[in-house]
Chains A and B, each alone.
Chain A
Amino acid sequence: MSTTFRSCFVPTGFILGYIAYLLLGALVFSAIERPVEETLKSDLSSLKAEFLNLSCVNATALETFLEKVLQANKYGVSVLENATLPTNWDLASALFFANTMVTTVGYGHSTPLSDEGKAFSIVYALIGVPFTMLVLTACVQRLMHPLTYGPISMCQRRAGLQPRTASVVHFIVLLFLVVLGFFVVPALVFSTIEETWSFLDSFYFCFISLCTIGLGDFVPAEKPGQRLRALYKISVMVYLFVGLMVMFLVLRTFHKLADVHGWTAFFQLPSYEEEDEDREPIIEQEPDDESPEAEKASVKPLDPSSQVSYNSINR
């Protein structure tokens, strides 16, 4: 009885809570951003009026010109006189673009303009996104052992902590290190290299990129006359990829933590699975490795505490 009640109540509760959360966000953003936007708009219209007064240009000609400029600007083509910005599509930039697409960050500072480019992007993304997710998951699974299971078991053995406490302690330490190493330090680096970015701007950029949101209001290496642009772009690419991996790692650690504390069972979510079977190689053949792994794996379905899949709860 309670299971069915929970299985109805929990998703509905989630949806309602979620909609409420979105409404709250909408209200707050509206309240914060609207006045600033109004000021900018009035600034702009007064500047335009001043411009028109001073010159012989009529309004419609200016409008047409501006429209064209804005169209081009949207796609990254600049009309300013001394803008010797190299093309958006040299090899390093195109590589950067491909990387932002397959990691689903998608800044949008440069986008394919041609029809063929768009068609190619569709196919490229459909294949590249699962491919990248696969790679990231594989890497993270490998990293879990030295970075999560190892320290936790060490905590338990050396300090004699309970599994629950050990996992909490480990998670807090991991979180602290990740924030320091992948948010604070890169933010400092970016705010030094990019002259117009404050520390908060850089931190905001790191956060928005590593969550793969990628709004695109801040994009590194876009300044005209940037030195060592190709190298800069490639290092940002590497940073994004490694950072994403680390975020996945943090997520999985959190999932394990939730499992240990029984939260996943409460919310009827898929439980964390330690996938030891992954250790088997696909190229080399090591039949000796098989039997202990296989035995461990064959024991798994009998283990009552590991829920194999979400729907097994209701069956």
Chain B
Amino acid sequence: MHGSTLIFILIGVLLYLMMGALVFNALEAPNEESHHDDLQATRKEFLGNYTCVDPEHLSNLIDVVAEAISVGVDPKSNTTFSTSWDLASAFFFCGTIVTTIGYGNISPKTTWGQLFCICYTLVGIPLFGFLLAAAGDHLGTSLRNAIAKVEALLWKWKVSPTIVRVITAVLSILLGCVLFIFVPILVFQRVEEWTWLQSAYFVVITLTTVGFGDYVAGDGDAGKHHWYKPLVWFWVLFGLAYFVSILSMIGNWILVLTKKTKAEATQTDRVLEGGGSDKGKDIVEKEKLHATPKDPVLSQPLYYLGENLAYIDESSDALSGKIHLDPLHLRRDQQKPKTPKTSPNEPENKAPNGDIRPKDPPTPML
């Protein structure tokens, strides 16, 4: 990738971060301030009501309590000790660190614990990477099998292949969404007694592996059932596999979009320059072959969308998170392209430096 492209993308990311910072500042700072004032008022009231307590004593107590909280110890008055490092929770903790979610609601405090954590993670993360790749592949296969039945039905009705591809792609995304996002949101809402927004927030923050830890499934009453946390962990595994495939698909779209617009631009250039090489001519011929529209307005975008969405059918295996690129115009066959690696394109792409297709391509000069 050229240096200038990289600089542009970097600037884009920096701008995105700045925008986020500004919005969070505007949304959160006033809220935080009101919490702070609230708290100070409570404290003053407490000290006023119980005048035998001196502020220093109170600060001392609060210090110890805060430290206990950061360790994960619950300072409420029930004296029977219930550790937060019981086997199920420790299992869940290990699960969250090797998936790199890392909630942080409990974390090792001892020196040996931290050392062990480092070594454990060094081995665990690659191990989980393999598991994710394997799980993602099987997930993709089963999703595809489920969709294949619908596809067979559509084939019987003689629907155009492009539309079939579009429908199956959308269906597979929807099915994954429902299974791994919407159903868990509802479940967490019921079980953890969170609002819908809090559940959705938890699901997204977990599946993108950000994992703030302000909401953790199983920290409340539901965590008392021993089967709950492992079940949550399995959801995390498959949800992650699904999310990784979606995220890499989005990334792929962006990259291929930029590549495609560039490819088209250079093709116009070549054609305008008088045919250029034979290869250029060939390519334009092929493009013309594919671009025989019945309805020039509608089928073009559908054609793009359908052809590129074929990627989803066959690439649900490509979950290593790497972006697979291919020289688009060179791997196509003569007829209907069956390229497993072309990626979806925005049909309404009106980028200034691309999409010269709707206008008549100038005939290649001989």
Does chain A have a CB within 8 A of B365? Answer: no
Name the segment of A41-49, A146-154, A156-164 touching the other chain. A41-49
Contact A90 B102 (CB under 8 A): no
Contact B21 A104 (CB under 8 A): no
Does chain A have a CB within 8 A of B366? Answer: no
Does chain B have a CB within 8 A of A98? Answer: yes
The digit string for A22-38, where 1 denotes a CB below 8 A from any CB of B, is 11011111101110111
Chain B residues with CB under 8 A of A124: 20, 23
Contact A282 B208 (CB under 8 A): no
Does chain B have a CB within 8 A of A89? Answer: yes
Contact A75 B261 (CB under 8 A): no
Chain A residues with CB under 8 A of B279: 291, 294
Task: Tell me the minimal C-beta distance from B42 to chain A in angstroms.
Answer: 6
Contact A200 B325 (CB under 8 A): no
Contact A65 B42 (CB under 8 A): yes
Q: CB < 8 Å: which of A70, A107, A270 contacts B75?
A: A70
Contact A282 B63 (CB under 8 A): no
Name the segment of B129-137, B160-168, B356-364 touching the other chain. B129-137
Does chain A have a CB within 8 A of B327? Answer: yes
Q: CB < 8 Å: which of A73, A113, A128 contacts B66?
A: A73
Chain A residues with CB under 8 A of B326: 277, 297
How distant is the Cα of A116 from the Cα of B247 in the complex, in angstroms?
Answer: 24
> Contacts A32-B112, A98-B17, A139-B6 given: A79-B72 contact, CB under 8 Å?
no
Q: CB < 8 Å: which of B22, B197, B210, B321 contacts A101?
A: B210
> Contacts A32-B110, A51-B61, A106-B211 given: A98-B120 contact, CB under 8 Å?
no
How distant is the Cα of A106 from the Cα of B208 in the complex, in angstroms?
Answer: 10
Please, which residue of chain B has its CB at the minimum distance from the CB of A252?
B322
> Contacts A29-B93, A44-B73, A270-B133 given: A104-B340 contact, CB under 8 Å?
no
Contact B24 A112 (CB under 8 A): yes
Contact B84 A37 (CB under 8 A): yes
How distant is the Cα of A291 from the Cα of B324 in the complex, in angstroms?
Answer: 20
Chain A residues with CB under 8 A of B53: 51, 55-57
Chain A residues with CB under 8 A of B321: 133
Q: CB < 8 Å: which of B42, B46, B85, B134 contacts A14?
A: B134
Contact A21 B212 (CB under 8 A): no
Does chain A have a CB within 8 A of B201? Answer: yes
How distant is the Cα of A291 from the Cα of B10 in the complex, in angstroms?
Answer: 29
How distant is the Cα of A59 from the Cα of B276 in the complex, in angstroms?
Answer: 88
Does chain B have a CB within 8 A of A61? Answer: yes
Chain A residues with CB under 8 A of B18: 95
Chain A residues with CB under 8 A of B262: 280-283, 285
How distant is the Cα of A120 from the Cα of B115 in the complex, in angstroms?
Answer: 37
Contact B125 A26 (CB under 8 A): no
Within residues 5 to 55 of chain B, which ones have a CB less than 8 A from any CB in chain A?
5-6, 8-10, 12-13, 16-18, 20-25, 27-29, 31-33, 35-36, 38-40, 42-43, 46, 49-53, 55
Contact A81 B331 (CB under 8 A): no
Please, which residue of chain A has its CB at the minimum distance from the CB of B63?
A80
Contact A283 B100 (CB under 8 A): no
Task: Tell me the minimal C-beta distance from B86 to chain A in angstroms.
Answer: 7
Contact A126 B276 (CB under 8 A): no
Chain A residues with CB under 8 A of B138: 11
Does chain A have a CB within 8 A of B79? Answer: yes
Contact B131 A18 (CB under 8 A): yes
Does chain B have a CB within 8 A of A223? Answer: no
Task: Tell me the minimal C-beta distance from A155 to chain B in angstroms.
Answer: 25
Contact B127 A17 (CB under 8 A): yes
Chain B residues with CB under 8 A of A22: 91, 94-95, 98
Q: CB < 8 Å: which of A41, A61, A72, A137 contacts B73?
A: A41
Contact A26 B330 (CB under 8 A): no
Within residues 222 to 259 of chain B, which ones have a CB less than 8 A from any CB in chain A?
247-248, 250-251, 254-255, 258-259
> Contacts A128-B16, A137-B251, A287-B266 given: A108-B130 contact, CB under 8 Å?
no
Contact A72 B50 (CB under 8 A): no
> Contacts A111-B212, A117-B27 given: A270-B320 contact, CB under 8 Å?
yes
Within residues 297 to 356 of chain B, which ones have a CB less than 8 A from any CB in chain A?
314-315, 317-318, 320-327, 330-331, 340-341, 353
Does chain A have a CB within 8 A of B295? Answer: no
Chain A residues with CB under 8 A of B81: 38, 41-42
> Contacts A33-B108, A137-B251 given: A212-B100 contact, CB under 8 Å?
yes
How distant is the Cα of A87 from the Cα of B35 in the complex, in angstroms?
Answer: 11
> Contacts A75-B35, A114-B31, A281-B2 given: A212-B270 contact, CB under 8 Å?
no
Does chain A have a CB within 8 A of B265? Answer: yes
> Contacts A30-B86, A80-B59 given: A104-B210 contact, CB under 8 Å?
yes
Most buried by A among B20, B251, B315: B20
Chain B residues with CB under 8 A of A116: 27
How distant is the Cα of A128 from the Cα of B79 in the complex, in angstroms?
Answer: 45
How distant is the Cα of A33 from the Cα of B16 in the complex, in angstroms?
Answer: 40
Sample of 27 A–B contacts (CB below 8 Å): A22-B91, A29-B94, A30-B87, A37-B71, A40-B67, A41-B68, A56-B50, A61-B50, A73-B69, A95-B21, A105-B210, A108-B104, A119-B201, A121-B204, A124-B20, A125-B204, A129-B247, A130-B247, A131-B16, A133-B321, A215-B97, A216-B102, A269-B130, A270-B322, A277-B327, A280-B259, A281-B5
Residues of A that sit less than 8 Å from B by CB: 10-11, 14-15, 17-18, 21-23, 25-30, 32-34, 36-38, 40-45, 47-48, 51, 54-57, 59, 61, 63, 65-70, 72-77, 79-81, 87-91, 94-95, 97-102, 104-108, 111-122, 124-126, 128-135, 137-139, 141-142, 200-201, 203-204, 207-208, 211-217, 267, 269-270, 273, 275, 277-285, 287, 290-291, 293-294, 297-298, 301, 308-311
The 6 closest A-B pairs by CB, nearest first: A213-B102, A106-B210, A98-B20, A281-B2, A108-B212, A216-B104
- 13 extra interchain contacts, Cβ-Cβ under 8 A, other than A47-B61, A95-B20, A215-B213? A25-B94, A30-B86, A38-B81, A55-B50, A67-B76, A69-B66, A77-B39, A87-B33, A120-B27, A137-B323, A214-B211, A283-B4, A291-B279
